[in-house]
Amino acid sequence: MTLSRALITGLFLTVFLSGCIRPTTRPEPIDEKGWSELVEGIRSFESGRYPEARRRFLEIIEAYPGSPLLSEAQWLLARTYDAAGEKPAAIRELHFFLKNYPKSLHDEEAHFLLSRLEQPDQKTIAIVWSPLSGRPLEDHLRPYLRKANTVIVPVFSNAPGRSGVFFNASGAPLLADRLPEWIEIAHQRGFRIMAAMPVREMRWATQSHSDWRDRKYDSKQGTVEAIDKLDLFNPDVKQMVAQLYRDLAQYPIDGIYIEDLSYGIEEGWTPSAVRLYESLFSESIDPGSIVAGSIGRTGEGSDREGRAPQFWHWVGWRSRFLSGFVKELQAESRPRRPEMQWGVALPAVVLTHPVKGLSEMSIDLLDLKSAESNLYLIFTQSNPGGVPSLLETISKYAIRPQEVWLQATSMNRASLTEAMKSPVQGIILPSP
C-alpha cells in the first residue's frame, strides 16, 4: 500500500470515528472540494513537494472551520514542517494539534514526534534492520518500542544479480521505492530512521562501468588488478556518488550512516588517483615501493618503522581526500536536510593504533574530526579496558563523548549498562 493510499484509508477512519468521539457536536459534511484538496496535499507530501503540501493544508484549515477534515490537515501540516526540516514550525503545529484534538487516532504518534523534536540531544539507542532479512520492519521494531529510538536501515543491496537501491535515484537501478514506507513505519512508532548508504561498495556501478572500478596491487605478483569497489578519485564516480546522496536527501530521513569509508594500503592504485597525487606533489609514485616496502628496511630519510616520507605523503593525502569527500556529501545534502545526522563507522584500529590505522586504512581521526560538527564517529565497543578506556583514548584527539556512538558487540547486560551510563551520544545495539 502506498503512503497516499494508507493516509487516505486512515483518514476515512478518522472522519467517521470523529463523530463517535464527539457525539455532542454534529460534524459538517465532508466538502468535496476540501476532500480533493486534502488528497492533493497528501500526494504533494508524498512526492516531497513540501511548500505545495503546506499551502494546501493551510488552505483547508482556513477554509473549512468545523470540518472533520481539520484534524487530519493539522496533523499533516505538522508532519510536512518536520519533513521539510522546519523544526520550530513543526513543534508549534504539534502543540496545536495535541491541544485541539486530544482524542485523535494520531495522538500517540504525535507525542512521539514532539518528543523527538523537543529532545534532540537525548542518547541515541539504535537497532539495525535489513530489508533482505525477510522480516517486516514493523515486526522488527515491536520488541524495541520502549528500548530504542532509532533504526538504521540499509537502503541498498549488493546481492549478486539484485544490486541497486530502495529509493528513486538517477544514478542507480531502482529495486523498489520502499524508503517512504519504511520512513512512515519508523516515524509512526517514534523511531528516527538513518539510511545506511555506501560510498565505495556499489555492485551495480562497478558492473556497469568497468572504468569506475578501483585497483588493488598484488605485491606477490607485482601487478595491479581491478576489484569490485569504486574509485572515488575518478571525478565521474565522485559526481555519481554525490548525486545519489542528493537524491537520498529528498526523503525525510533523520540521518545517514556510512561504513565503508576507508582505503586499504593495497587499494586505490588507479590512474585517476596516481595522476591526482603526482600533480599535487610533483613526484612520481610506484605501488611496489609503497605497498611491498611499506615496512621495509630502515634507510636514509625513513622513519623508525622503516617507511619513507613518500609513504606518509600518500596515506596522509588519501586521508584528507576521504574527509573532504564526507564534507562534500554533507554540503550536497544540507540544503534539503540541514539537521540530518551523519555517522561514520570506523575500524577499531583507527582508535587503538592510530598510526597503524592511517598506514593500513588511510583514516586519520584528526582529519575526520575537522568535518562538520554533526558527524558522529562510530566505534566498536571492543576496547580491553571497556568504555572508560575508550573515552580516555578519544579524549587524546580532543573528541568529545557527545561526538561518539558505540557499536555494542554483545547483549551482555554489564557492558550495555556501562555503555548506557557513559556520556557517549549513541549506542547501536547488536542484532539478536
Domain span at 88: 3-118
Tell me, yes or no, whether 256 and 223 share the same domain.
yes
Tell me, yes or no, whether 248 and 340 share the same domain.
yes
Which CATH number covers residue 16?
1.25.40.10
Tell me, yes or no, whether 56 and 159 share the same domain.
no
Of the three residues 118, 138, 173, the one that is the final residue of a domain is 118
Tell me, yes or no, whether 140 and 248 share the same domain.
yes
Cβ–Cβ < 8 Å for 330, 371: yes
pLDDT at 4: 47
Q: Is 10 helix (H, G, I), strand (E, B) or coil?
A: helix
Tell me, yes or no, whether 113 and 137 share the same domain.
no
Tell me, yes or no, whether 171 and 281 share the same domain.
yes
The amino acid sitting at 297 is: R
Cβ neighbours for 349, distance < 8 A, ≥ 6 positions apart? 356, 357, 360, 361
Tell me, yes or no, whether 183 and 165 share the same domain.
yes
pLDDT at 31: 46
Tell me, yes or no, whether 283 and 200 share the same domain.
yes
Of the three residues 59, 83, 118, the one that is the final residue of a domain is 118
CA proximity to 200, closest of 245, 165, 150, 237? 237
Cβ neighbours for 58, distance < 8 A, ≥ 6 positions apart? 77
Tell me, yes or no, whether 283 and 401 share the same domain.
yes
Walk along the chain (432 residues) and give the pLDDT tens digit of each residue: 444 444 444 444 343 333 322 232 334 444 455 788 899 999 999 888 999 999 999 999 998 888 888 899 999 999 999 888 888 999 999 999 999 998 888 876 787 677 767 765 678 889 999 999 989 999 999 888 878 899 999 999 999 889 999 999 998 999 999 999 999 999 988 899 999 999 999 999 999 999 999 999 998 888 999 999 999 999 999 999 999 999 999 999 999 999 899 999 999 999 999 999 999 999 999 998 888 655 444 344 444 455 788 999 999 999 999 999 999 999 988 888 888 889 999 887 888 888 888 999 999 988 887 755 567 888 876 655 678 888 888 888 888 888 888 887 765 666 677 777 788 888 888 876
pLDDT at 386: 75
pLDDT at 372: 56
Which CATH number covers residue 180?
3.20.20.80
Count of structural domains within the chain: 2
Tell me, yes or no, whether 112 and 229 share the same domain.
no
Sequence-separated contacts (24+) of 93-98 with Cβ below 8 Å: 97/71
pLDDT at 32: 55
pLDDT at 153: 97
| Rg of the chain taking only CA atoms, in angstroms | 25
Tell me, yes or no, whether 365 and 247 share the same domain.
yes
8, 45, 254, 351 from 343: Cα distances, Å: 35, 27, 11, 16
Burial 232-257 (b: 16+ CB within 10 A, else e): bbbeebbebbbebbbbbbbbbbbbbb
Tell me, yes or no, whether 370 and 389 share the same domain.
yes
pLDDT at 208: 93
Of the three residues 68, 100, 118, the one that is the final residue of a domain is 118
Residues 111, 112, 113, 117, CA torsion sign: positive
